Structure 1
Amino acid sequence: MNLISGFKTGASIVTFLLIADASQITLAQIADPIAKMQADAVETRQADWGHWGPNPNTYSSWKTHSNRLIPVYTFGIDLNLVRGEKSVYRDASALEKLYGYLPEKTVNPEAEYFDQTDIYRLQRAAIESGKKRVILFVFDGMDWDTTRVAAITQSGKIYHKGRGEGLHFLDYRGAPTDYGYCVTSPRTEGTSVNVDTQTVLNPEGKLRGGYDPSLGGDAPWQPITDADYPIGKSKQTRHAYAESSATATSMTTGIKTYNDAMNVDFMGREVLPIARDLQGKGFAVGVVSSVPISHATPGCAYANNVHRNDYQDLTRDLIGRPSIYHPGGLPGVDVLIGGGWGIDKDKDGGQGKNYVPGNKYIAAEDLAAIDVANGGRYVVAQRTEDMAGPDVLSKAVQQAKENGSRLFGYFGAQGGHLPFRTADGGYNPVASFGSSKPEKAEVYSKADLLENVKLKDMAVAALEVLDSRSDQWWLMIECGDVDWANHSNNIDNSIGAVLSGDEAFAEVVTWIEQHGGWDETALILTADHGHYFNLDRPEAFQP
């Protein structure tokens, strides 16, 4: 049953609709137009303002990644090393070397785009040019349309191509800045592995990667001429689309590999990520994420594994504990802050025989071993009952700086991620799409909101501790909830996630301006891959 209620404001009447159905929408949420747009789309499976997937006649026909070109924004450095005439996509021999084969219909003599592995090259070049501080800021799953819709909600300005405007990272000019876009396709999809033996069973996989610009477009805003191409289902050219570990590996090691690989090549052989190489040269290194600490993107900042789901072992690499891939242990990162707190499982077949029942992402014995209270090297800041998360983290930052210790921060709500921010700036999601029916929205308690931190808190904490440990450092910051929102085909959560990451970016650049500026700092902001949101009526999102 629907309930209509209204009240007067000035000379007009504001009317709210409370829908008692699967959308689980509240009166307060109806006051937010984007929440209502999402709720209506879930209820009717139609939206004239946009759709997810290849079918424009239904709101949701695809719930995972795509092979779209992905935006790249740089600050303190430019893209001249990799784009246009320098693009690997103009050179057949270079492409064959990159992929290990020459991808079908991928050579483009006029390519302005470059490859995701060039993100690694850009970081290397920044260090070689004298930069002492490098930040890789990853908005997981944020493609051009996802960026554009968030920007329109903020500025009201509609754009149809190019960098755009309306977000801090689009508008910031406090440093030399540049903009381009890259291919994210993996080497292969469909590789099988054994996490217990850390071996790859079928190195050539089932489907090869590549990028056909005649079908996918030669810029993110160009029309896709075959709607099935970005999802690997075209009858003309089939190319694999990427997932987060293969793409993160490209950005941290500079290689193409199979989907689900964590800093290993197509044979499962170890590849050294840039953070570990720099650490060996005296750099401090850190990792921050709004989702679990050893998910694909943060895990690839430092760890090695044949499969992304071996979470506890990936965490062991990150914190310098013996792991399945490194029985002798790695040195470990200087700072690790992310989600995963409170997510317990008795069994997890994806993690192999050495899985320890309990927290899915870090075994209790590993957490105890790293704590300075037990003689370890990390000040541990965890979500704590009745204590404000920012206060808990701030206290740990001060302790780490005063004692010269490392920092481990562990937070999270449902699913191990930070509470999902919505487009209105609150934390009140409405329903998403499930595999066959609507999914109930997450509901956060007062404790969830009090006891957790925001991505901006994590990012600044990492900067403070890294800078106290060395004048040379490397940091990955991941806004991971963009990906989670887009998997759920939830435009309200997607916009909120982009805005959360954008807020963190603003805090980071303010910190940089107050701590030496851009002469020795390079920041690369990008996504690891895209989804398949199509913005059909941009004006619907104007404030």
Structure 2
Amino acid sequence: MRQLLRRDICGFERSRPSLSRPSDDLDISSPKEILMLRTLAAACLSAALAMPAAAQDAEARPKNIIVMIADGAGYNMLAATRYWHGRALTADGPAWEKAAMATYALRRDIEPLGLSQNPETVYDSGKNWDAAPVTGASACADGYDAGYAGYEWNRCSAPDSAGTMSAMMTGIRTYNGAINVDGRAEPAKSLAETAKAAGWKVGTLSSVPFTHATVAAGGGAHNRDRDNYHEIASEMLSSETLDFIAGGGNPDYDGDGKVRGENADERYRWISEADWTALKSGESAWTLVEDRDAVRDLASAPQTGRLILLPRVASTLQVERTPVGGDGGDPRLQAPGDTPPIETVPTLAELAAAALSQLEGGDGMFLQIEGGAVDWAMHGNFLGRAIEEYNGFNEAVDLVEAWVDDPDNGSTWDNTLVVVTADHDHLLFGPGNAPFEPIENRGVGKLPGHKWWSGSHSNQLVPFFIRGAGADRVIAEADQIDSARVNGETVGRGRYLTQPELGEALIGLVSD
């Protein structure tokens, strides 16, 4: 096994070739070198903190912040996408700073309210990488073998998307199910609200319902319970925080993009009938856009006023479409593209292009872009569809990178900060039963060898990429080292930061 530690602490060796494999990180086997990197990380952080405030501001204050979340996408999900396509991901490129990020929650349940940290959920390298065999079924994932102590700890201490995204948006660690509230369920000021107070335009979009956990937290909503979708929708539509919303959740269509029957179940799950009627009738302050061609047109012809884009599909843009074709139509066995996409539904990149066009210019912009359906596919153990979804997310990263590089819109890497990461991981490993076995590369256009150890989340670290104005200030927070011994070998993901550290740094870049 390999110890995954980088040499680019404090910005050293940033000019590197694009990756063609899951990581071009350094193999480390020496505890002395690990100690050296810990010392370097601490020195970098001290230097950053000692830098005069004026110098930090001159280097680090962005005009635009774009946070991109591939929901559920840990290291092996990214590796699977690389292997299928036979190429690196956009954020693998040499211009991007790289680290890992911890995603643990304050606690796993809403009740009892309070600010005390549950020590059992705190990320711990020894617990994560514990390869002690555990016989029998998992106590925290029905239908799956326990496997190893590290797997079981990950399943039993796993965070959710609401609390993790809230931590990234507020700088405050909170409980599973929380939307931008603290451990007492008291509202916490979010990055979206901070950006709006600074005079920036603000938007949030996703490939899943716009009231779902990550996209709602990214849009500045507040709620003690992520399942209060009608309350969340009403707040997002009635508050003054947002200028742009896009995602799934259109009540008039099913998962295949077909018109629903009048009495269809769960039609108004994601938005109340009253709010939907107001949007459809034009009585809302928002302009509703449903047609794919109209979405595409927005990229070159932005409109005035507040826009909400709800494509003609139910919950997700693509992942819930009815499977057809080979393998008996079983999405657990299908490869990407075996079931053709719904052509009437825009892609995540098309929604992002509309958002950028609508929000650019002015005093600044904060935009949250979520590839939310990566997680939905992983919950079903649908690796083919998860690769489809991560590829769609990567195309959105491509689009954002090209937008920043475009000399005609006023954005540059000197005034724009882009974060690419995940809110949490899923327990996905290689095809055998060895502990922490990597995904197996079986060639381009072939599903990688893999095995699912859960139908839900894990507490593993997730990949973290960042580029642009203020990146050094954020990456300096990655001053902890993930390192453990497994079967006599040193393993780990190297330096990492936590989600509240990210949130606090991003808010500071807007408000300091």
| TM-score (ref. length: structure 1) | 0.59
Name the counterpart of 1:413: 313
Contact 2:72 2:375 in 1 (8 A): yes
Contact 1:429 1:443 in 2 (8 A): no
Name the counterpart of 2:88: 166
The one-letter amino acid paired with 1:458 is L
Name the counterpart of 1:475: 367
Question: Kindly tell me: are residues 443 and 110 of structure 1, through their superposed partners in 2, closer, same or farther at Cα, counting changes over 3 Å?
Answer: closer
Question: Kindly tell me: are residues 429 and 474 of structure 1, through their superposed partners in 2, closer, same or farther at Cα, counting changes over 3 Å?
Answer: farther
Q: Confirm whether residue 315 of structure 1 aligns to residue 233 of structure 2.
A: yes
Q: Confirm whether residue 249 of structure 1 aligns to residue 249 of structure 2.
A: no
- Please give the alpha-carbon distance, in whole angstroms, between the structure 2 residues aligned to 1:457 and 1:278: 24
Q: Confirm whether residue 359 of structure 1 aligns to residue 268 of structure 2.
A: yes
Q: Is the partner of 1:256 in helix, strand or coil?
A: coil
Question: Kindly tell me: are residues 451 and 230 of structure 1, through their superposed partners in 2, closer, same or farther at Cα, counting changes over 3 Å?
Answer: farther
Name the counterpart of 1:195: none
Residue by residue over 1:181-230, the C-alpha shift from the partner in whole angstroms, topping out at 9 and shown as x without a partner, is 011111111333xxxxxxx657769874212212324xxxxx85675455
- Please give the alpha-carbon distance, in whole angstroms, between the structure 1 residues aligned to 2:416 and 2:400: 11
- Please give the alpha-carbon distance, in whole angstroms, between the structure 2 residues aligned to 1:299 and 1:153: 31
Question: Kindly tell me: are residues 71 and 142 of structure 1, through their superposed partners in 2, closer, same or farther at Cα, counting changes over 3 Å?
Answer: farther
Residue segments in structure 1 that go unaligned for 5+ positions in a row? 1-68, 73-77, 82-107, 156-164, 193-199, 218-222, 321-329, 346-356, 383-388
Name the counterpart of 1:391: 293
The one-letter amino acid paired with 2:317 is L
CA offset at residue 367 of structure 1? 3.5
Residue by residue over 1:488-542, the C-alpha shift from the partner in whole angstroms, topping out at 9 and shown as x without a partner, is 1121112111111111111121122113321111100000000011034623244
Contact 2:295 2:354 in 1 (8 A): yes
Name the counterpart of 2:429: 534
Q: Confirm whether residue 258 of structure 1 aligns to residue 175 of structure 2.
A: yes
Name the counterpart of 1:150: 81
Q: Is the partner of 1:338 in helix, strand or coil?
A: strand
Contact 1:287 1:335 in 2 (8 A): yes
- Please give the alpha-carbon distance, in whole angstroms, between the structure 1 residues aligned to 2:412 and 2:305: 25
Q: Is the partner of 2:81 in helix, strand or coil?
A: helix
- Please give the alpha-carbon distance, in whole angstroms, between the structure 1 residues aligned to 2:123 and 2:425: 14
459-468 vs 365-374, which moves further: 365-374
- Please give the alpha-carbon distance, in whole angstroms, between the structure 2 residues aligned to 1:181 and 1:113: 16
Name the counterpart of 2:352: 459
- Please give the alpha-carbon distance, in whole angstroms, between the structure 1 residues aligned to 2:286 and 2:355: 13
Q: Confirm whether residue 188 of structure 1 aligns to residue 107 of structure 2.
A: yes
Contact 1:189 1:205 in 2 (8 A): no
- List aligned pairs for 1:106-117, cutoff 5 A: none
Contact 1:315 1:362 in 2 (8 A): yes
Question: Kindly tell me: are residues 298 and 495 of structure 1, through their superposed partners in 2, closer, same or farther at Cα, counting changes over 3 Å?
Answer: same
Residue by residue over 1:31-72, the C-alpha shift from the partner in whole angstroms, topping out at 9 and shown as x without a partner, is xxxxxxxxxxxxxxxxxxxxxxxxxxxxxxxxxxxxxx9999
The one-letter amino acid paired with 2:85 is Q
The one-letter amino acid paired with 1:419 is Q
Question: Kindly tell me: are residues 507 and 71 of structure 1, through their superposed partners in 2, closer, same or farther at Cα, counting changes over 3 Å?
Answer: farther
Contact 1:486 1:531 in 2 (8 A): yes
- Please give the alpha-carbon distance, in whole angstroms, between the structure 2 residues aligned to 1:130 and 1:113: 25
Residue by residue over 1:407-433, the C-alpha shift from the partner in whole angstroms, topping out at 9 and shown as x without a partner, is 10012535x1011399xxx99994246
Q: Is the partner of 2:282 in helix, strand or coil?
A: helix
Name the counterpart of 1:496: 388
Question: Kindly tell me: are residues 453 and 112 of structure 1, through their superposed partners in 2, closer, same or farther at Cα, counting changes over 3 Å?
Answer: farther
CA offset at residue 373 of structure 1? 3.4
- Please give the alpha-carbon distance, in whole angstroms, between the structure 2 residues aligned to 1:405 and 1:264: 29
- Please give the alpha-carbon distance, in whole angstroms, between the structure 1 residues aligned to 2:171 and 2:337: 37
CA offset at residue 281 of structure 1? 1.1
- Please give the alpha-carbon distance, in whole angstroms, between the structure 1 residues aligned to 2:359 and 2:4: 29
CA offset at residue 239 of structure 1? 6.7
Q: Confirm whether residue 336 of structure 1 aligns to residue 241 of structure 2.
A: no
Question: Kindly tell me: are residues 189 and 474 of structure 1, through their superposed partners in 2, closer, same or farther at Cα, counting changes over 3 Å?
Answer: same
Q: Is the partner of 2:360 in helix, strand or coil?
A: helix
Name the counterpart of 1:216: 128
The one-letter amino acid paired with 2:90 is H
Contact 2:251 2:267 in 1 (8 A): no
Name the counterpart of 1:306: 224
CA offset at residue 233 of structure 1? 4.1
- Please give the alpha-carbon distance, in whole angstroms, between the structure 1 residues aligned to 2:4 and 2:427: 12
Residue-pair matches, total: 370
Question: Kindly tell me: are residues 201 and 409 of structure 1, through their superposed partners in 2, closer, same or farther at Cα, counting changes over 3 Å?
Answer: same
Q: Is the partner of 1:531 in helix, strand or coil?
A: strand
Q: Pick from 240, 243, 251: which aligns with 2:157?
A: 240
Q: Is the partner of 1:209 in helix, strand or coil?
A: coil
The one-letter amino acid paired with 2:212 is H
- Please give the alpha-carbon distance, in whole angstroms, between the structure 2 residues aligned to 1:428 and 1:452: 25
Which structure's relative contact order is higher, taking Cα pairs within 8 Å and 6+ residues apart?
2
Contact 2:128 2:153 in 1 (8 A): no
Contact 2:246 2:310 in 1 (8 A): yes
- Please give the alpha-carbon distance, in whole angstroms, between the structure 2 residues aligned to 1:179 and 1:153: 22
Q: Is the partner of 2:165 in helix, strand or coil?
A: helix
CA offset at residue 471 of structure 1? 3.9
- Please give the alpha-carbon distance, in whole angstroms, between the structure 1 residues aligned to 2:110 and 2:373: 26
The one-letter amino acid paired with 1:450 is E
The one-letter amino acid paired with 1:184 is T
The one-letter amino acid paired with 1:312 is H
Q: Confirm whether residue 486 of structure 1 aligns to residue 378 of structure 2.
A: yes
Name the counterpart of 1:431: 330
Give me the CA root mean square deviation: 4.2
CA offset at residue 358 of structure 1? 5.0
**How many percent of aligned residue pairs carry the same amino acid?**
22
Q: Is the partner of 1:189 in helix, strand or coil?
A: coil
Q: Is the partner of 1:187 in helix, strand or coil?
A: coil
Q: Is the partner of 2:250 in helix, strand or coil?
A: coil
Question: Kindly tell me: are residues 520 and 429 of structure 1, through their superposed partners in 2, closer, same or farther at Cα, counting changes over 3 Å?
Answer: farther
- Please give the alpha-carbon distance, in whole angstroms, between the structure 1 residues aligned to 2:225 and 2:236: 15
Q: Pick from 270, 276, 285: which aligns with 1:377?
A: 285
Residue by residue over 1:358-407, the C-alpha shift from the partner in whole angstroms, topping out at 9 and shown as x without a partner, is 52212232244457933x4322102xxxxxx43121356677x34x2111
CA offset at residue 231 of structure 1? 5.0
Question: Kindly tell me: are residues 512 and 208 of structure 1, through their superposed partners in 2, closer, same or farther at Cα, counting changes over 3 Å?
Answer: same
Question: Kindly tell me: are residues 519 and 128 of structure 1, through their superposed partners in 2, closer, same or farther at Cα, counting changes over 3 Å?
Answer: closer
Q: Is the partner of 1:483 in helix, strand or coil?
A: helix
CA offset at residue 79 of structure 1? 7.7
Residue segments in structure 2 that go unaligned for 5+ positions in a row? 12-34, 49-55, 134-146, 255-265, 432-438, 446-512
- Please give the alpha-carbon distance, in whole angstroms, between the structure 2 residues aligned to 1:109 and 1:486: 37
Question: Kindly tell me: are residues 394 and 364 of structure 1, through their superposed partners in 2, closer, same or farther at Cα, counting changes over 3 Å?
Answer: farther
Q: Is the partner of 1:484 in helix, strand or coil?
A: helix
- Please give the alpha-carbon distance, in whole angstroms, between the structure 2 residues aligned to 1:278 and 1:397: 23
Contact 1:290 1:339 in 2 (8 A): yes
Contact 1:412 1:419 in 2 (8 A): no
